[in-house]
Chain A
Amino acid sequence: MKLPLPGLCPVLLSTVMCVTFLGCNVTRITLNTPLTQNNVAFIVPGQTTLADVITKLGTPDSITESYAGVVATYRFLDMKYSRINFGWLLKPFSPVDTDLIISRTGLGTDALELLCDSNWVVTHQSFLRHLSGSRFNPYPF
């Protein structure tokens, strides 16, 4: 569709941008580097040692002992938060500050756990929650 006044386009575009993004916050928090299945594909239970894993992934966040052996845990977090305040739309017209806020937080927390035997060979490995990854989506309903 061709607009009647080409000069109107920038104004229209900026207005749409302003209305869409009024009072927006986009925040992300990451703890350590999130690991994926691809990052741990090199681990072969019964063959790979904890030293091999440390060489590639760094030291684990914790090492604990269980009846089945030593448990090394890599923890990570990928939190995404987005918020829109539609109350900003009324700011030019209202004498008071009004808020109509929608927000949503996706807390993508997970951990990789490795079970090692007494010789530090990895016998089992698994992610705790198998997250698919949180998204920026302020719509809470």
Chain B
Amino acid sequence: MLFFKPLASVIIVLALVMLQGCAFSRGTLGEDIKSESVAAIKKATTTKDEVLSLLGAPDRLLQVNGRDVFQYYRYDAKVGSLLLILINFSRLSIKSDDLFVILNREGIVEDVILSKRTDGMEFRFWPFGE
């Protein structure tokens, strides 16, 4: 035990001395998809023009199963870096929010699919584990 205490102290002091700094960076691509605008879109009621006025032009226009699909997306990237004198740890997490609005041949909304993966995304330093 007499040996352990000085060792622990040395390790703590070393860790404090080696801590050089940390860095946070963030990058986004696209506008935030507002939940209120998405909630205003009603299936079998809302028209293509109304979707365009609520959300603007889609980032991607697809034709699937004989239907038009408007895709809106937004990317969010967060970087956390722990800079030590001898070793640096960094982790970059990128996630996207995607909204698909499926329109039938008459231009009426058939389905709305939204998932916000960026909610709850945190800055992380530690690159190991999950």
Contacts and interface: CB of A to CB of B under 8 A. Distances in A.
Given A21-B86, A25-B87, A61-B98, A13 B7 contact: yes
Interface in B48-71: 60, 62-65, 69, 71
B98 A25 contact: no
A94 interface: no
Interface string A58-85: 1111111100001000000100100000
A27 B93 CA distance: 11
B94 interface: yes
A134 B28 CA distance: 26
A84 B119 CA distance: 35
A141 B60 CA distance: 43
Nearest to B7: A10
A118 B11 CA distance: 63
B96 A32 contact: yes
A30 B92 contact: yes
Contact of A33 (B63, B92, B117): B117
Contacts, number: 100
Contacts of B91: 27-30
A32 B64 contact: no
Pick from A10, A51, A60, A120 the residue with the most CB of B within 10 Å: A10
Give the interface SS of chain A, mostly helix, strand, loop or mixed.
Answer: mixed
Interface residues of A, number: 39
A14 B93 contact: no
A18 B86 contact: yes
Given A10-B10, A24-B88, A70-B64, A59 B114 contact: yes
B36 to A, nearest CB: 19
Interface in A1-45: 6-7, 9-11, 13-14, 17-18, 21-33
- List the 6 shortest-distance A-B pairs measured between CB atoms, nearest first: A58-B115, A28-B127, A10-B10, A24-B87, A59-B98, A59-B115
Interface of B: 2-3, 6-7, 10-11, 14, 60, 62-65, 69, 71, 86-96, 98-100, 113-115, 117, 127-128
Given A26-B88, A32-B94, 7 more contacts: A26-B87, A26-B127, A27-B88, A27-B90, A28-B128, A30-B93, A32-B96
